[in-house]
């Protein structure tokens, strides 16, 4: 079976360093808020080109803590996308605020700036860089600045991505990252990060991650137990210097998929972008055939995932809001994420694409044309 993601090649390649780091941390007897975490915060801040980085327990906590640090709470509204992982909206509700869902753009699956309607209850805008591609930050920042509303970037799926040369996460008021193991920079358990250029917000995030205290036993507010632990920080420090190469390899794989699939009848492809870090490679299967294609691929030994089968506003927890976001609803019926990981070979990709062509009954003459064209245009994968 071709998996959706294979973490083993990276773990094997890095094992000598990983085993030493694990031993170093365990033998130090220091597991929470030590040197590894502090160094990771410095290194990741440098990588992301931001002055402040605060290591946390998860991406969900990063969003909750960013919202709390900005003073968002009961009675407030936060505008976000309905086409994301539930955790984005959940964080808004967890701080007592109300998520206001603005529909998405059909081509890129991101929040549509034209649907962002600011009211006097709007306390933040929370765009998501979905699947590894930047949301339309130029427009979103313009809207935020005009209304004096902060922007919280959900960068859980786009570590290392850029927009106009600048790192995602450094564009808005706060950037929130997840290091869930499957992410482009993944820990060996749950981990997250908040970044900002505002020293006051960074201080608040530090306070909130340790039960509302900076000074031990002097709790100033209700906070959380949400620290990045030393073992995860040590793993992330090993992977961080490699993430650029890994993202480049994902981009090469994505280009080949795009070449092979963009003219396949019944398939919809987002145009290739060099700044996209392809956490997911997601296509559309049109004409109501998506679920049948999933079944056919499974029989052919190809794993796929539907991100996301239900848009957030239609999940049971938010059904009472009774709103409609037709573009997100249609996307949920059509999207399909294909296997992708940095060390994936072109041969595996050809198997995946052939299985899709079989599932859709694409004629062999059309198929030969698509494959012939892609073999001229695609580069070889860099050896990793
Ligand atoms: C877009 C998005 N936001 C938030 C999260 C939450 O991150 P975590 O699982 O680390 O809590 C995730 C990932 O799982 C995500 O994909």
Q: Which of 60, 277, 337 to mutate to test the pocket of ligand 1 (most atoms within 8 A of CB)?
A: 60
Range of the domain at 299: 243-377
How far, in Å, from the CA of 280 to the mean position of ligand 1?
Answer: 13
How far, in Å, from the CA of 178 to the mean position of ligand 1?
Answer: 6
Structural domain contains residue 163: yes
Domain final residue pick, 242, 267, 287:
242
Q: Which ligand 1 atom is the nearest neighbour of the CA of 178?
A: 10
How far, in Å, from the CA of 335 to the mean position of ligand 1?
Answer: 19
CATH value at residue 105: 3.40.640.10
Structural domain contains residue 342: yes
The CA distance from 383 to 248, in Å, is 11
Q: Which ligand 1 atom is the nearest neighbour of the CA of 128?
A: 1
Structural domain contains residue 165: yes
Q: Is the Cβ atom of 232 under 6 angstroms away from ligand 1? A: no
How far, in Å, from the CA of 59 to the mean position of ligand 1?
Answer: 5
Query: 167 and 255, same structural domain?
Result: no
Domain final residue pick, 189, 222, 242:
242
Distance, C-alpha 264 to centroid of its chain: 27
How far, in Å, from the CA of 111 to the mean position of ligand 1?
Answer: 17
Q: Which ligand 1 atom is the nearest neighbour of the CA of 60?
A: 11
Q: Which of 81, 99, 157 to mutate to test the pocket of ligand 1 (most atoms within 8 A of CB)?
A: 157
Structural domain contains residue 383: no
Structural domain contains residue 234: yes
The secondary structure of 130-191 as a DSSP string is GGG----HHHHHHHHHHHT--BEEE-TT-TT-EETTEETTSSSSEEEEE--TTSSS--SS--
Q: Is the Cβ atom of 190 under 6 angstroms away from ligand 1? A: yes
Domain final residue pick, 205, 226, 242:
242
Query: 194 and 314, same structural domain?
Result: no
Q: Is the Cβ atom of 128 under 6 angstroms away from ligand 1? A: yes
Query: 261 and 237, same structural domain?
Result: no
Residue 171 pLDDT? 98
Q: Is the Cβ atom of 157 under 6 angstroms away from ligand 1? A: yes
Assess contact for 353 and 261: CB atoms under 8 A: yes
Structural domain contains residue 21: yes
Whats the size of the chain, residue-wise?
384
End-to-end CA distance of the chain: 23
How many independent structural domains does the chain possess?
2
Per-residue pLDDT for the chain (384 aa), expressed as one digit of tens each?
A: 999 999 999 999 999 999 999 999 999 999 999 999 999 999 999 999 999 999 999 999 999 999 999 999 999 999 999 999 999 999 999 999 999 999 999 999 999 999 999 999 999 999 999 999 999 999 999 999 999 999 999 999 999 999 999 999 999 999 999 999 999 999 999 999 999 999 999 999 999 999 999 999 999 999 999 999 999 999 999 999 999 999 999 999 999 999 999 999 999 999 999 999 999 999 999 999 999 999 999 999 999 999 999 999 999 999 999 999 999 999 999 999 999 999 999 999 999 999 999 999 999 888 888 888 776 544 444 433
How far, in Å, from the CA of 186 to the mean position of ligand 1?
Answer: 12
How far, in Å, from the CA of 267 to the mean position of ligand 1?
Answer: 27
Residue nearest to atom 8 of ligand 1 (CA): 59
Assess contact for 71 and 173: CB atoms under 8 A: no
Residue 375 pLDDT? 62
Residue 215 pLDDT? 94
CATH value at residue 326: 3.90.1150.10
Query: 203 and 324, same structural domain?
Result: no
Q: Closest by alpha carbon to 250, among 176, 182, 156, 166? A: 182
Q: Which ligand 1 atom is the nearest neighbour of the CA of 192?
A: 10
The CA distance from 59 to 85, in Å, is 11
Percent composition of the chain: helix, strand, coil (DSSP 3-state, to 5): 45, 15, 40
């Amino acid at each position: 079976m071709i998996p959706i993601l294979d973490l083993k090649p990276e773990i094997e390649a890095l094992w000598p360093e990983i085993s030493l780091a694990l031993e170093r941390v365990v033998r130090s007897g220091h597991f929470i808020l030590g040197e590894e975490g502090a160094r990771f915060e410095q290194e990741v801040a440098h990588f992301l080109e931001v002055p402040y980085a605060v290591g946390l327990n998860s991406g969900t906590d990063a969003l909750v803590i960013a919202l709390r640090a900005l003073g968002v709470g009961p009675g407030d509204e936060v505008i976000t996308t309905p086409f994301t992982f539930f955790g984005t909206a959940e964080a808004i509700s967890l701080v007592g605020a109300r998520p206001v869902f603005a529909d998405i753009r059909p081509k890129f699956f991101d929040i549509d700036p034209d649907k962002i309607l600011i009211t006097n209850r709007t306390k933040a805008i929370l765009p998501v860089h979905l699947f590894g591609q930047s949301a339309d930050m130029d427009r979103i920042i313009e809207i935020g600045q005009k209304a004096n509303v902060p922007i919280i970037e959900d960068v859980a799926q786009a570590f290392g991505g850029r927009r106009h040369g600048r790192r995602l996460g450094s564009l808005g008021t706060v950037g929130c990252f997840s290091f869930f193991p499957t992410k482009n920079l993944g820990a060996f358990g749950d981990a997250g990060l908040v970044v900002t250029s505002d020293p006051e917000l960074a201080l608040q995030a530090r306070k909130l991650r340790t039960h509302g205290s900076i000074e031990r036993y002097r709790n100033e507010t209700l906070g959380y137990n949400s620290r990045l632990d030393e073992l995860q920080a040590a793993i992330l420090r090993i992977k961080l210097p490699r993430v650029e190469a890994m993202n480049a390899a994902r981009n090469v794989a994505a280009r080949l998929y795009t070449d092979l699939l963009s003219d396949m009848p019944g398939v919809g492809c987002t145009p290739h972008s060099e700044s996209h870090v392809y956490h997911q490679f997601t296509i559309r299967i049109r004409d109501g055939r998506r679920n049948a294609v999933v079944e056919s691929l499974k029989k052919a030994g190809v794993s796929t995932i539907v991100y996301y089968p239900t848009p957030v506003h239609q999940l049971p927890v938010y059904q009472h809001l009774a709103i409609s976001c037709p573009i997100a609803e249609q996307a949920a019926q059509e999207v399909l994420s294909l296997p992708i990981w940095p060390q994936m070979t072109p041969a595996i990709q050809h198997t995946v694409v052939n299985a899709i062509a079989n599932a859709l009954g694409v004629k062999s003459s059309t198929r030969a044309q698509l494959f012939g064209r892609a073999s001229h245009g695609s580069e070889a994968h860099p050896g990793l």
